Amino acid sequence: MARQVLPALAAATLAVTAAVPATVRSADTGLTAQGKPFVTGGLSEEERRAMRHSRMDYSLWLQAASLRGAYLPGLRVRIEGQGESRVLELRLNGPWLFVNLAEGTYQVAVTSGGVTESRRAVVRGRSHLEMVFYFDEPAEERQPAGAVPSVR
């Protein structure tokens, strides 16, 4: 059975990698438990430009920052579908996470320094939902110049 699963997993990974523009590939990309693509990043201007260009391919646009607007590294994100099924759990690799979710209702939780903020997200059809999470913490020195820019 493992011999059948590994080629399928490799093919799915290659399909996602091929579908993501080359300039976005420096950010972290992958598949959700639903088999849908996601990308997290936005540290460099090049990553932000590439991610903005591809954002319409994703149903959820998540942005996280300090109240002062600066990037907070290492935030944890957990997205659960109905029935508490985990769709995605990861550590952000930048201030942005774009994820394509199947139509439905989700609980999106972002954790920073032991503080978790959670919100309900409803994805309908080909709509796009933008969520911004702010935390009252000092920002790391490795933030991009200036405030975290909007995904728009």
Residue 11 confidence class, pLDDT cut points 50, 70, 90: very low
pTM listed for this prediction: 0.74
Residue with tokens 């959670």: 118
User: Which sign, positive or negative, has the C-alpha torsion 82, 88, 94, 100?
Assistant: negative
The lowest-confidence range among 6-15, 72-81, 109-118 is 6-15
Cα 108 from chain centroid (whole Å)? 11
Which structural domains are found in the chain, ordered by start?
2-135 (2.60.40.10)
